[in-house]
Amino acid sequence: MKRQKGFTLIELLVVIAIIALLMSILMPALARVKQQAKTMACQANLKQWTLYFSMYAEDHEGKFQAGVGDGHTHHWMNALRTYYRNDPKMRCCPTAMKPLIDENGQLSPQWNVFSAWGRFWGEGYDSQGEYGSYGINGWVEDPPPSYTTVYEDFETVYNWRTPNVKGAGYVPLFMDALRFNVFPRDTDTPPEFQDMAWQGMQHMRRICIDRHDGFINMAFLDWSARKAGLKELWTLKWHRAYNLAGPWTTVGGVQPSDWPTWIRTCKDY
């Protein structure tokens, strides 16, 4: 009878070790590819949102929604609901799909920048509980002329109200955010760490979040969508009176050492 040949124990251990080594090399690469895929899907979402906003503006004499009024009926989630067909996935970046509050109203114990805001119930909200992980630049909306924001002393004369403005490619419209609307100011300071988003009324902290490897995804008033660097956020034209040479810009004199440690290595603008 012929003797059958097989692996020795040492040969089997060597094969297992090689497989483990290959897995240790491939897994980080696969994780990066997965993250990049989510980043691209997020940009595709935001590009689709530019279509919804453009359609809304065309249907409303070239103006955006009011953003204020009874309940929350005039916020973008409700105002544009027929355009995006109330699809909650469209309100979310693929990296941040799980809302902070579950369907039973229970607060998640593990909140971070990859959490979605909400759920919210009430007038103008989705009956299932409104949630998402994108937010609008509140300064693009079209509130009544007599309305002044509660967030600062800017009157509504500084709101853009329409996409038909000069330099639209530098005016933020819609973006990764920890709140459904934000009102950034040039004097807002960066968070010492990312989970400081809800400390005070400095709204830049609600979008200065590392969801995409030192960037967030953002749509602009020219209907473009791209990644925006975290330090770049202070250099964009958020409202008509926004100071582009503010204290957190290179022109305004900010130094690399002025930034919190977690953001310091990000690209300067």
What's the pLDDT tens digit per position in 9-33?
A: 777 787 788 888 777 777 776 677 6
- Quick check: is 213 in a domain? yes
Within a domain: residue 47?
Answer: yes
End-to-end CA distance of the chain: 78
Is position 26 within any domain? no
In this structure, of 18-32, 85-99, 114-128, 243-257, the range with the lowest mean pLDDT score is 18-32
Confidence of residue 199 (pLDDT cuts 50, 70, 90): low
7 within a domain of the structure (yes/no): no
Mean pLDDT of the 166-182 span: 96
Q: What's the CA dihedral at 93, 95, 100, 101 to 10 degrees?
A: 70
**Residue-number span of the structural domain to which 143 is assigned:** 33-263
Share of the chain above pLDDT 90, in %: 70
Q: Which residue has the tokens 């004369």?
A: 157
Q: What is the pLDDT of residue 22?
A: 78
pLDDT of residue 29: 63
| 100 in a structural domain | yes
- Among 5-9, 160-164, 167-171, 188-192, name the one with the lowest average pLDDT: 5-9
220: in domain: yes
What mean pLDDT, rounded, does the chain reach?
Answer: 90
Question: pTM here?
Answer: 0.87
| Res 119: pLDDT | 95
In a domain, 4, yes or no: no
> What is the total count of domains within the chain?
1
pLDDT at 4 over 70: no
Is residue 177 within 8 Å of residue 131, measured between CB atoms? no
pLDDT higher for 72 or 51?
A: 51
Q: What DSSP line would sit under 54-110, residue for residue?
A: HHHHHHTTT----S-SSTTTTSHHHHTHHHHTT-GGGGS-TT--SBSB-TTSPBPS-
The answer to whether residue 19 sits within a structural domain is: no
Quick one: tokens of 191?
């968070």
157 pLDDT band (50/70/90 cuts)? confident
| Amino acid, res. 201 | M
Q: Using alpha carbons only, what angle is made at residue 185 by residues 189 and 159, rounded to the nearest 5 degrees?
A: 165
Q: Any idea what DSSP says for residue 267?
A: P
Residue 9: per-residue pLDDT: 74
- Give dist(CA 179, CA 170) in Å, integer: 21
At 265, the pLDDT band (50, 70, 90 cuts) reads: very high
